[in-house]
Every structure is written in structure tokens, then in C-alpha cells.
Amino acid sequence: DIQLTQSPSFLSASVGDRVTITCRASQGISSYLAWYQQKPGKAPKLLIYAASTLQSGVPSRFSGSGAGTEFTLTISSLQPEDFATYYCQQLEAFGPGTKVDIK
């Protein structure tokens, strides 16, 4: 089974900051990786699929890159509504999550 790890597990940032989250797979998964955002008390929301394709309606400040075993989610300019937990996912595996908090 594929294992996904994320780093960092927690990050503190300010509005306007550029934020990067990394997801690593235990074996190569081509570009089959998705990213989700979850706010407290809410269901997760799909942000990016196929490693770099933005889901419809998701702001363009979100971007994804990578292939094989290493992937990144970047928020180019952090907005107040972006403070949340972010998960990567491939098939049945989810990463442990990265919580983005306000500095």
C-alpha cells in the first residue's frame, strides 16, 4: 500500500505570505495526486487533482506541482479564508494533514 507523508504538519503564516506544503509518496504514483482543504466543522473540499489541475471554482492563488514521489501545494498569497488543514490523497491513502494557522 502507498503511504503519504506531509511536511510540515503545522505552519504559522501571515496574510499575503507564500505558503508551500509538500506531500511525499512511498512509491511512484505518476501524477495521481489530489489536494483537499478542510476548515473546522466542514467537509473537505477538492482543490487540485492530477497533481496540478485546479478544480473548478478554486482561486488561482492555489497551485500544485510534482510527479512521481514528491508533490507540492502552493498558495501564492495567503488569504484569511485559507487558514485550514490541507490533505493530499492518492487512491485510498490520505496524508496526515498540514494545518495552516495565523501567525
Task: Report whether 23 contacts 71 (CB < 8 A).
Answer: yes
The burial of 56, by beta-carbon neighbours within 10 Å (0-12 exposed, 13-18 middle, 19 or more buried), is given as exposed
The answer to the question of residue 36 lying near another protein (CB under 8 A) is yes
User: Residue 50 Cβ, how far from another protein at the closest point, in Å?
Assistant: 8
Instruction: Kindly tell me which of 75 and 89 has the beta carbon lying closer to another protein.
Output: 89
Q: Which of 49, 69, 76, 83 binds another protein (CB under 8 A)?
A: 49
The answer to the question of residue 94 lying near another protein (CB under 8 A) is yes
**First-to-last CA distance in the chain?**
36
Binding site for another protein (CB under 8 A): 32, 34, 36, 38, 43-46, 49-50, 55, 87, 89, 91-97
